[in-house]
Amino acid sequence: MKRYIKCFLLACLSMFSLLSKSQNFNTSDSLPVLKIANEQLLVILDSLIEYDKRCDFYDSNLVYIVHIQPTEYTTLIQFTSSHKLIKMGNETGCLAKKGHVIVVRGIYDDTLFEKTRCKKIFNYYQPSDGIDSNGTVIIDIYEDDSYTQWDYKYNKGSFTKI
């Protein structure tokens, strides 16, 4: 049984390595700086940061992600936090709030944000999966579900928590 688990993990690791190499992202890049255009979004971000301040994982280096995904009838918005910013390739902008960086991913929605002429340079986290010189498999677990995640529906200018 252990042999099958090891084979499965090696296969997953190989597949991940191929996928991550095929995307070939730089470790640093710039994003347009955004301003918040929706007052409700401002309240949600304030609440999220205040909530996280009471959690064990909170510190001043926490990064927030706002992922915007349209559906047929509404827009889904997911708010998450993490200590590692990984470039996904669908970043549309960023802003600062209460000393934290907030990165916006997915679609750009001008009812939520206003673009500025400024840009911010980021150094993204680079996963280090692979095999070291001793043949030991390194599995870099960088996706972590121990942080906050809030999900909302956004329709006609209003948010509904789901």
User: pLDDT tens, 84-135?
Assistant: 887 888 999 999 999 999 999 999 999 999 999 999 988 887 767 677 778 7
pLDDT digits (tens, 9 = 90+) for 47-62: 999 999 999 999 888 9
What percentage of the chain carries pLDDT values higher than 90?
A: 53
Integer Cα distance of 49 and 53 in angstroms = 6
Q: Which residues of 107-146 are buried (b: 16+ CB within 10 A; e: fewer)?
A: eebeebbeeeeeebebebbebebeeeeeeeeeeeeeeeee
| Residue spans of alpha helices (H) in 26-74 | 39-52
Closest C-alpha among 56, 68, 61 to residue 152? 68
Average predicted confidence (pLDDT) for the chain: 81
List the chain domain ranges: 26-161
**pLDDT value for 13:** 36
**Straight-line distance from the first to the last Cα atom of the chain, in angstroms, rounded to the nearest whole number:** 40
